[in-house]
Amino acid sequence: SQTIHQWPATLVQPVGSPLSLECTVEGTSNPNLYWYRQAAGRGLQLLFYSVGIGQISSEVPQNLSASRPQDRQFILSSKKLLLSDSGFYLCAWNSGRVSGEQYFGPGTRLTVT
């Protein structure tokens, strides 16, 4: 069966510090991968998606970047965090079929102070 991992689970970082969040998927190959953010009291906003190694598409202009160095690894990064980067970050995958379910990881709670 497929599983998706995210770490760390929680993170408190000062403004201006770098960020690296990691997501890995097990039990599948060549998945589509996604990064979402849920700000307090808000819905799920798609930040980045990837259909293959090295292929990254950004949905919204922002202070963050993403990379996919391996087939089942997706990394969310920032060089300098802003207060507005605080939120709950979720990684998701799907099999790549057109119109299919996405499966989410447990999430990372990021607080920028």
Token pair belonging to 95: 């099999």
Q: Of 42, 60, 79, 84, which one interacts with another protein (CB under 8 A)?
A: 42
Minimum CB separation from another protein for residue 92, in Å? 8
Closest to another protein by CB, 16 or 57: 57
24 binds another protein (CB under 8 A): no
Rounded to whole angstroms, the Cα distance separating 65 from 19 reads 10
Token pair belonging to 30: 């060549």
40 binds another protein (CB under 8 A): no
CB 104 within 8 A of CB 92: yes
Q: Of 66, 86, 102, 112, which one interacts with another protein (CB under 8 A)?
A: 102
- Give the SS3 label for residue 77: strand
